[in-house]
Amino acid sequence: MKPPQFLVLLLACALCASLQPVFGGDLKLTETADTIRISQRDQTVLEYVKTARPVPEGIEKHFSRSGYIHPIYTPTGQELTGDYPEDHAHQHALYFAWVKSKFDGKNVDFWNQAKDLGKIEFREVQKLNREKQNVSFSVKHAFMVKQGDKWIDAIHEVWTVTVHQTPEDHFLFDIVSVQNCVSEKPLGLSEYHYGGMAIRGNYQWLKEKEDHSIKPGDLQFLTSDGHDRWKGNHTRPNWVALSGKIDGQDISATVFCSPKNFRAPQPVRLHPNKPYFCFSPMVEGPFEISPGNEYVSRYRYLVTSKAIDVNVIEKYWDEYAKTEK
């Protein structure tokens, strides 16, 4: 039985309305069936992945995923993030995943997709919002585990991504992740050396294993405590900055960990040769996400087309820390 024509028209209008651009100052948010893109002054800031993109040739299909951000761009148009890298195809640009976990007595791993012990996917757009100085969107993810031949939801997560109006020399955006148990069963997180909110950088920054040399343009890490990628691993800084050259252009990106976060300042996993790091609270010991208790994570991202300027980063940290008290 076909639905009445007026209902078809109503649904079509609703769909069209949901895909209309949302503006805030010079910011523009555009939703399509597959992505949510935010741009400023006609330069893309970031793109959120609603529909899993085709897996590159030579990479197994089980690495397919949705519910993350890629690409993130610099103000001069360089692609900061990397997706489906050949060395670690499960690292998807800007993403959140737990590693050594337990659910209902079974081992779960949402990070290492090849194990087939857990997976994450986009479910729905909950809200698009426009303010005078920012635009934002809220999206729902499902963290799923296997029960027999079926996948069931263990955790639901809502990301709220807010991009702020900024001058031309930098981009600034926030991510708030809120995770809740779907059932009365908790998700247990074991003590482990990585996992959590992560960012994977451009493929040009990948170095050979055990190569600790620093050549012009190479990726470098700097923490708020003044440590590099080797001395800073598993320390607990307020922020981590990465910098180098992409396509010959100096860039830097700094991630601030909110003082409100669980175990803040959270330990960080700084990889010795791969262009990624993550905030990993489980480095300090096990914990669980329990029914009825939200697990909330908050981070701010500062992206520039310049080399690291510690004075500028500290200024932005002070501003962020004040708003997060």
Looking up residue 40, the CATH number of its domain turns out to be 2.70.98
Q: How confident is the model at residue 283 (pLDDT cuts 50, 70, 90)?
A: very high
6 in any annotated domain: no
pLDDT > 70? residue 90? yes
φ, ψ (nearest 5 deg) of residue 133: -115, 10
In whole angstroms, give the CA distance from residue 20 to residue 39.
14
45 in any annotated domain: yes
16 in any annotated domain: no
* pLDDT at position 5: 55
* pLDDT at position 4: 52
* pLDDT at position 77: 97
In whole angstroms, give the CA distance from residue 17 to residue 122.
21
The three-state (H, E, C) secondary structure of the chain, written as one string: CCCCHHHHHHHHHHHHHHCCCEEECCEEEEECCCEEEEEECCEEEEEEECCCCCCCCCCCHHHCCCCEEEEEECCCCCECECECCCCCCCCECEEEECCCEEECCEEECCCCHHHCCCEEEEEEEEEEEECCCEEEEEEEEEEEEEECCEEEEEEEEEEEEEEECCCCCEEEEEEEEEEEECCCCCEEECCCCCCEEEEEECHHHCCCCCCCCCCCCCCEEEECCCCCCCCCCCCCCCEEEEEEEECCEEEEEEEEECCCCCCCCCCEEECCCCCEEEECHHHHCCEEECCCCCEEEEEEEEEECCCCCHHHHHHHHHHHHHHCC
Q: What is the pLDDT of residues 302-320, one digit of tens each?
A: 999 999 999 999 999 999 9
298 in any annotated domain: yes
Mean pLDDT of the region 296-306:
98
* pLDDT at position 245: 97
5 in any annotated domain: no
Percent of the chain at pLDDT exceeding 70? 93
11 in any annotated domain: no
Mean pLDDT of the region 107-116:
95
Look up the domain containing 117 and give its range. 25-324
* pLDDT at position 19: 58
Mean pLDDT of the region 264-273:
96
* pLDDT at position 93: 96
Mean pLDDT of the region 188-192:
98
17 in any annotated domain: no
pLDDT > 50? residue 44? yes
* pLDDT at position 211: 77
* pLDDT at position 216: 86
140 in any annotated domain: yes
pLDDT > 50? residue 167? yes
Please state the domain count of the chain.
1
pLDDT > 80? residue 10? no
In whole angstroms, give the CA distance from residue 75 to residue 305.
6
